[in-house]
Structure 1
Amino acid sequence: MSSILFEIKNSVAFITLNRPDKFNSFNREMALLLQSKLDECASLHEVRCVYITGAGKAFCAGQDIGELVGEHKIELAQILSEHYNPIVKRIRNLPKPVIAAVNGVAAGAGANIALCCDIVVAAESASFIQAFSKIGLIPDSGGTFTLPRLIGWQKASALMMTCDKVSATDAEKMGMLYKVHPDIIFEEESKKMAQTLAAMPTKGLAYTKHVLNYSFNNSWEEQLQLEDQFQQKAATTEDYQEGITAFLEKRTPNFKGN
C-alpha cells in the first residue's frame, strides 16, 4: 500500500498521508513521495487547490523514530536537507492554495508542515504538539519561523520548550489555525473549502501567496512596491477580466484559473 494516497477531483488534489499504523509518521519513502506529488500539483493546470490530510486517527506524528537508530539509520542532517526542508519549501512556493486538513494529532514535523500551509483547518478532536524537546532536539520544518509569527514569541517559545499539547479549539483561539469544525462535519466542511478555493481565480491566489511570503521580511515600502508589481500582473489575467465582466453583468463569475 502506498504511503501517500493521491486523487484529483473537481480541480482539487487530495493528498493523504497514509501510514495510519504509525500515526502517519514520516519515513524516507513517504517524504520523497510527498515531494513528488507536490511537484505534480504544481505542474498540472487542472489542479487549482491542494488538500493535505492524514489517514486514520492522526494527521502526522512527525518523524518515524525507527529511522534514526540502528544499522541503517538516517542522519538528521539528511532528513532535514532531503525530507522536511524540501517539503515546506514546495508548499510555500506552490502557486496554488494548500489546505492542511488536520484530522487528528499533528506532532513535531507533522505540526510544522501543517502550519506552513496557506490555510489550516482542524477537527475538534485534533491537537498540536511541538514534540522536539522531548528527545533533546529543536523544532524544524520551518516551525521556528512560522509559529512565532502566528501566535507570538512568548507562546511559541513556551510551546516549543514545554511540549504542551494544544487542542484544536485553543489553537484557533491563539491564531495558530483558521477554523475548527466538529468531527462529524469536519471532512465535509474542509473539502467544501477546498472546492471553493479551486473555483476562485487561481493566478490571483498564487500572487497573493507570493506577496505574503515576502511580507515576513520586507520593509513597508518594499511591500508596497511588491503589491504594485503583482497587482499589475493580476490585472492582466483572464480571470480578472471575467470578474469585472461578471460584476457588471450581475452574475456569478466563471473563473478558469488563467
Structure 2
Amino acid sequence: MPTNLSRRVEGSAVNLAYCEIDEQRLIGRLVVNRPDVLNALNVDTAQAIQRAAAELSSRADLRCIVLQGRGRAFMAGSDLSAFAEDFDRAGDVVNALLDALEPVIHCFREHPAPVVASVQGAVAGAGLSLMAACDLVIAAEGTRFMLAYDKIAAPPDCGGSYFLPRAVGQRRANALMYLGESWDAQRAEQFGLINQVVAADRLADVTDAMAQKIANGPSRAYAQFKTLVSESRSDLQIQLDAEREAFVSATRTQDFKAGVSAFLSREAADFIGK
C-alpha cells in the first residue's frame, strides 16, 4: 500500500488548505478546503494555497500534481464579502489576494511535473483562471464554468486573460467575459477548456488513474515539453501585472461597488459606466 504523508498548511485561524504528498507514487495534491462557502477565495485562503504550493514546489521529485477543491464546488471565485466590508480598501484586498495567488500560478507553470485540475460544481472567477493555468483538466458532469467578472464590473485576474484565450480562442474567451456565458462540462470539453468529462461518482477514480499514468510516464520528457510550452508564451508576468493594475483600478469605480453589492444581495446591478 502507498504511504500517504499529509502536510496540513494552516491559515491565520483555521485550516483552509492542505497539500498531501504520496511518497510512494510521487504524486502531490493541493486541496482547497473551504467547502462551506464553495471554496471562495479570501486572503487567508489564498495565503494557505500559496504555502501549500510552496511545499509542492520544494519537491522536485514529484511527477504529478493534482489541484482540487473539497466539497460540492471546485472554486467559486473570490469571496466578495471581503470587498464589501470596506470598498475604499478593496484595492488592498485585491493586491493581497494576488500577492498570494500569483506565486501559485508560477508554481503550476514552473514545476517540472504536469499539473492536473480535478473539478466539480462551480468553477468561477479566479477559480476558472487557476484551473486554466493547469496542464490537464478533468471535470465531473454537472460542472459549470464562468468568469463572472462582468457581474462585479472588474476584469479577470490570476491569468484569466492570459490562459483562457490560449485555451479556447479569443472569440470564445470574449463571450465568457462580454456576454457572461456559463458553460456546462460538455461545452467546455468541446471548446478545449477541459480534457475530459466523467460521471460525478467517477471523478476521484479517473483523476487518480490519470495522475498515476503521468507519474509512471517519461517524466523528463514531460518536463522538457512543459518548459518548451511555457517558453513559447513567456510574457505571463507582464500579463499578470497588467491584470492586477486593471483590477485594482476597477475597485475604485461606482460600477464595482454596485456590482459587488448587488451580487451579495442577489439582485441585478445597475451599471452606469463610472
- Measured against the shorter chain, the TM-score band is 0.7 to 0.9
Q: Is this contact kept in 2: 1:80–1:141, CA < 8 A?
A: no
Per-residue deviation, residues 56-83 of structure 1 (Å, max 9, x unmatched):
1100011111221325955254135413
Q: Distance in 2 between matches of 1:30 and 1:47?
A: 24
Counterpart amino acid of residue 38 in structure 1: A
TM-score, normalising length from structure 1? 0.79
In the alignment, is the contact (CA less than 8 A) between 2:68 and 2:74 conserved in 1? yes
Aligned-partner SS, 1:197 = helix
Q: Is 1:14–2:45 an aligned residue pair?
A: no
User: In structure 1, what is the equivalent of residue 9 of structure 2?
Assistant: none
Percentage of identical aligned residues = 32
Conservation of the 8 A alpha-carbon contact between 1:104 and 1:125: yes
* Displacement after TM superposition at 1:217 (Å): 6.0
Among candidates 175, 189, 196, match of residue 158 of structure 1: 175
TM-score with structure 2 setting the length: 0.75
Once the two structures are overlaid, the 10-residue window that deviates more, 73-82 or 170-179, is 73-82
- Equivalent residues, number: 218
Matched, 1:107 2:124: yes
Amino acid paired to 1:148: P
**Offset from partner CA, 1:189-215 (integer Å, 9 cap, x none):** 011101111122323212211100122
Select 2:106's aligned residue among 69, 79, 89: 89
Which of residues 214, 222, 247 is equivalent to 1:197?
214
Matched, 1:174 2:191: yes
Q: How does 1:102-251 map to 2 (within 5 A)?
A: 102-216=119-233
Q: Does 1:59 align with 2:74?
A: yes
Q: Report the 3-state secondary structure (helix = DSSP H, G, I; strand = E; otherwise coil) of the residue aligned with 2:157.
A: coil
Report if the CA contact (8 A) 1:116-1:142 is conserved. yes
> Pairwise CA RMSD of aligned residues?
1.9
Deviation, 1:145, is 1.1
Deviations 1:68-121 (A, max 9, x none): 132595525413541332221221112211110012211000011001101111
Aligned to 1:4: 17
